[in-house]
Structure 1
């Protein structure tokens, strides 16, 4: 996948799956913007990638919970490039204190989770639509989760019901709906919108309990970037499509 001359943006790119996605996109030739709400951590991540010879990686301040921050990031990138080929909506949170079963979850935890995991991708995608439309066959990839699948949650063999995190899981289900909504809206414009289940990746979010590395999770995300327009609106994983 030689993507020299193309541009990409990854939200929440300073650590975890996002950091690995940035590294892999840059290795494939993308000019890759690493979005981070924490400037010090974001710049440190870019410096680490530059030191490792990762390619053209650039920092962009981006807080997905702040509409003004998204608008400023879009304006900054638009001042330097005419289009954006790939948008990876990766930023996400799990509010451990306050999440739980539907009967016990705290509403403040629900609001905080949705603000990042659902409203964040909504804000960012809307802000960058002019740049995405200016590209030829742009891709928008939402980083979802197996917990977002209602089918898998109801399957006892999957064991997902043993992790009572209603705020997080329902936010990822809502992200699936957002994916379908944008896919329907943008299909005629040739923009491919998909959501990826990266698998159980060891990250800060799960206390590094995952069974996959961040590179393995990132590889699944990058495969979505290569999908054709006919795949728009899909929920994909390493073995094809994931059930809704």
Structure 2
């Protein structure tokens, strides 16, 4: 019952006391937003550009990004830049990190915004991972480490690749969009990460919640490993927001969700707060996260697994 009330509070929070007007001038700051061409990501990019940040939108669809860049430039008078990134392919993740590293010597903020929710049950990444875990967790970790340090599956992979640039900034932030749905996960069922009998028996929503649980675990482990080196790692619940993340849901479910959710502009506020507010710390922003997400042994185990899974990506 506690989980039900917690979900209710997280989905319908009180009115925000913080707004985009509180964002300081971001001149000289370099920021990457994955999936920044639509939904929460697009609203995030818009607010950052309005405050003079240099923003890169990392996404796999250049046509859509180009259209978003044009629209955002008209709205803010500042131009974002495109980096090709497919989080369902670790080779694409590494190429994206390499492309960014040729353009910039430092990265101030990496916002892991792109994600997948309840896709076709048969959908897998190029490497054979469950699509939701591969995109939402592995890819983001890998690029973060590649840019901020130097090595890790989708988001995790991307984060890992960017660690050198994050460290070079002196004081950097990794912002990971999780979900309050992570509290419904029963930890990580390692047998469901790749396709097999266990994964086939697991509901897509449960796999999604598991990936969001792992997001928080990775964010906590990043804070433990790199907090003293100037990297602030934060995970967050953006609220119940209707975006194209639910593009694979049935029309009926989308219609119901539209009555219960907020728009992307409001959904971007927590991300923007985590990315720019001076008081943001290494934490999970929203209500109290699942207690197991801060488990030291689990964090170390997941990190070691990610490193092992990506060690042969050349």
Could you state the TM-score of these two structures normalised by the residue count of structure 1?
Answer: 0.83
Give the counterpart of 1:220 among 259, 270, 286: 270
Question: Quick check: 1:145–1:172 contact (8 Å CA) kept in 2?
Answer: yes
Unaligned runs of 5+ in 1: 99-105, 152-162
Question: Quick check: 1:30–1:56 contact (8 Å CA) kept in 2?
Answer: no
Give the counterpart of 2:285 among 228, 236, 239: 236
Q: Relative to 1, partners in 2 of residues 1:94 and 1:136: Cα closer, same or farther, differing over 3 Å?
A: same
Q: Relative to 1, partners in 2 of residues 1:107 and 1:76: Cα closer, same or farther, differing over 3 Å?
A: closer
Q: Comparing both structures, which one devotes a greater share of its residues to helix?
A: 2
Q: 1:70-126 CA distances to partner (integer Å, 9 max, x unpaired)? A: 22222322222220000000110112443xxxxxxx796981111111112111101
Aligned residues: 222
* Aligned-residue RMSD, C-alpha: 2.3
Q: How does 1:41-120 map to 2 (within 5 A)?
A: 41-98=64-121, 111-120=130-139
1:175 aligns with 2:215: yes
1:195 aligns with 2:235: yes
Question: Quick check: 1:21–1:222 contact (8 Å CA) kept in 2?
Answer: yes
Q: Distance in 1 between matches of 2:123 and 2:63?
A: 31
1:148 aligns with 2:182: yes
Q: Distance in 2 between matches of 1:33 and 1:108?
A: 27
Give the counterpart of 1:22 among 29, 38, 45: 45
Residue number in structure 2 paired with 1:34: 57
Question: Quick check: 2:124–2:130 contact (8 Å CA) kept in 1?
Answer: yes
Unaligned runs of 5+ in 2: 1-23, 141-155, 186-202, 247-253, 291-314
Residue number in structure 2 paired with 1:12: 35
Could you state the TM-score of these two structures normalised by the residue count of structure 2?
Answer: 0.65
Greater C-alpha radius of gyration:
2
Residue number in structure 2 paired with 1:165: 205
Does 132-141 or 48-57 show the bigger shift? 48-57
Question: Quick check: 2:34–2:112 contact (8 Å CA) kept in 1?
Answer: yes
Q: Relative to 1, partners in 2 of residues 1:53 and 1:227: Cα closer, same or farther, differing over 3 Å?
A: closer
Residue number in structure 1 paired with 2:310: none
Shift of residue 196, structure 1, vs aligned partner: 1.0
Question: Quick check: 1:192–1:228 contact (8 Å CA) kept in 2?
Answer: no
